[in-house]
Structure 1
Amino acid sequence: MCGNNMSVPLLAEAVTVSGTEKETAAVSRNQTLLNIWGHGWAETLTGIRLPHVKFICPHAPRIPVTLNMKSMMPAWFDLMGLSPDAPEDESGIKRAAESIRAIIDHEARNGIPPHRIIIGGFSQGGALSLYTALTSHYQLAGVLALSCWLPLHRSFPSASSGHKNLPILQCHGEMDMMIPVQFGAMTAEKLKYIVDPQMVTFKSYPGVNHSSCPQEMADVKEFIEKYLPRI
């Protein structure tokens, strides 16, 4: 399991989209905005960046993925299936969450408090963002969960660290054939038993498959502006 000692190599594998002013918040891909979307989303995030917010986009390691016939590919943890009852890579999920917490710790040591950090991601990155935020001892600014699900959902709410006032924005394409929108809706209902139901917002987008769209990105930007306001 990756502990805090992994923070430096992880950050070396990250793309950072800096703000144009003194940064007072971070967002990460799957902080400040810690974005667990990854390298490929850096350009998209540049289009919605705010001058006081830094986007950190760490890159998932290459691992063999069961769902991909054990081929090596960038992934935060192994995937055995994409249905709610599929077996899950518990140790891999927890290991990945520790690596993201190491980045949060690094940001905190460098002057950005956790309550000024949003974590978010797309697909597996969104799933990891949900799990990391719900099990973190930090009170984070929020979670952006795009086209995803809650890993190890059967362990909640008991696995939760207990932060009820955690804003969560879930977004999902209504034509998603990989992770059906119904799974996203089921996740949203589960989240309402873990955090304050009023903190959970679920939005779906007609005609959108397992991808993003301009309206979704506008909703993401609005969420960031609301929960990471300029100081």
Structure 2
Amino acid sequence: MLHRTIVMPAGRHTASLIFLHGSGDTGVGIQSWIADCFDGTGDKQGFNFNHIKVIYPTAPPQPYTPMNGRISNVWFDRHKISYDTPEIAKSVDEMSDKLIQVLFSIIAAEVKAGIPPSRILVGGFSMGGSMALHLGFRNHLDLGGVFALSSFLSAESTVYDSIIEHQKTENSMPELFMAHGTKDPLVLFEWGKKTFQKLTSLGVKGQFHKFKYFHEIGFKELLMLRNWIVERIPNDTNS
């Protein structure tokens, strides 16, 4: 079981959101970073919702090759941070399976409480966004949406193959929100844009936004994401 931080809604819980942190971070860390983005802005809501439970899991520690094999909280391993470098499929699948087990328990609890998978969103920042793309478009196609901030998929990602296989039997897929900083020196803007273009060429419906950010989360980006979240899973007073 992964450690996770949970922020309950102010009102009746009718939807859920799972937010995955970037490499080397924690659920508490990404939650704090998001809160800091709203400090001093006058926005009293922040990233809190009247009806949405926000869940911040922490990735399990494992050796991470880009850090010379040092232990870090990461969702999967990779050879290096590069668009053209193939995924380490075994690592992605193992980490995905571990997180899926957690998601299954979360989804099962939400469904038992009367919340359908279509009212559950998954997303994240950097590596967390990449993991969310794997989860939403490989394993949990019944979710309400996926978001990825400053994230990318490898050029030959297994996600694309999974979408093509899925199209043979069904057409519905989660909607997508992606955003990226044009000054990002770690995960290049072009990688995120190419990822979005390839996903949408395969039938994924979504939106892509650019900001004058480095490798970071920003206030304007979070406002736009917050609006998208509420559009995807609005406050259902009849549920």
Q: Report the TM range for the smaller structure's normalisation.
A: 0.7 to 0.9
Matched letter for residue 116 of structure 1: R
TM-score, normalising length: structure 2 = 0.82
How do residues 99-114 of structure 1 correspond to structure 2 at under 5 angstroms?
Answer: 99-110=98-109, 111=113, 112-114=115-117
CA distance in 2, matches of 1:120, 1:106: 17
Does the CA-based 8 Å contact 1:61-1:75 persist in structure 2?
yes
**CA distance in 1: counterparts of 2:175 and 2:216, whole angstroms:** 22
The yes-or-no answer on 1:210 pairing with 2:215 is yes
Which runs of 5 or more residues in structure 2 are unaligned?
36-44
- Work out whether residues 149 and 183 of structure 1, in 8 Å CA contact, stay in contact via their aligned partners in 2: yes
Aligned to 1:183: 191
Q: Which amino acid aligns with 2:76?
A: F
Between structure 1 and structure 2, the one with the greater Rg is 2
1:153/1:16 Cα in 2 relative to 1: closer, same or farther (>3 Å)?
Answer: farther
More displaced stretch, 213-222 vs 87-96: 87-96
Runs of 5+ consecutive residues of structure 1 not aligned to the other structure: 1-8, 31-35
Separation (CA, whole Å) in 2 of partners of 1:138 and 1:147 = 22
Over the matched positions of the two proteins, sequence identity in percent amounts to: 25
Equivalent residues in 2 for 1:218-229, closer than 5 Å: 218-229=223-234
1:76 offset after TM fit, Å? 0.9
1:149-164 equivalences in 2 (<5 Å): 149-151=152-154, 153-160=156-163, 161-162=166-167, 164=172
Identify the match of residue 207 of structure 2 among 198, 201, 217.
201
Deviation at 1:137, TM superposition (A): 4.5
How many residues in Structure 1 have an aligned counterpart in Structure 2?
213
Write out per-residue CA displacement over residues 190-230 of structure 1, whole angstroms, 9 at most, x where no aligned residue. 1112334xx22111101x10001111000110111100101
Q: Helix, strand or coil: the match of 2:160? A: coil
Q: Indicate whether 1:75 and 2:80 are aligned.
A: no
SS of the aligned residue for 1:93 comes to helix
Alignment CA distance shift 1:60-1:152 (3 Å): farther
Distance 1:164 1:194 in 2: 12
Q: Which runs of 4+ in 1 moved over 6 A?
A: none
Q: Who is 2:13 aligned against?
A: 23
Structure 1 residue 106: Cα displacement: 1.5
**Deviation of 1:157 (Å):** 3.2
Distance in 2 of aligned mates of 1:99 and 1:151: 21
Question: How far does residue 37 in structure 1 lie from its aligned partner after superposition?
Answer: 7.3
Secondary structure at the aligned position of 2:162 is classed as coil
Residues in 2 aligned to 1:138 and 1:181: alpha-carbon distance in whole angstroms: 26
CA contact (8 A) 2:121 2:145 kept: yes
> Which residue identity lines up with residue 106 of structure 1 in the other structure?
S
Within 2, Cα distance between the matches of 1:137 and 1:76?
17
Change (3 A) 1:146 1:129: same
The answer to whether the 8 Å contact 1:172/1:204 transfers is yes
Q: Is 2:52 aligned against 1:40?
A: no
Q: Is the 8 A contact 1:93 1:151 kept in 2?
A: no
Which one-letter code corresponds to 2:57 in the other structure?
Answer: P
Q: Normalization by structure 1: what TM-score?
A: 0.85
Q: Deviations over 1:34-70 (max 9, x none)?
A: xx97321223268222110001111011111111111
CA contact (8 A) 2:15 2:120 kept: yes
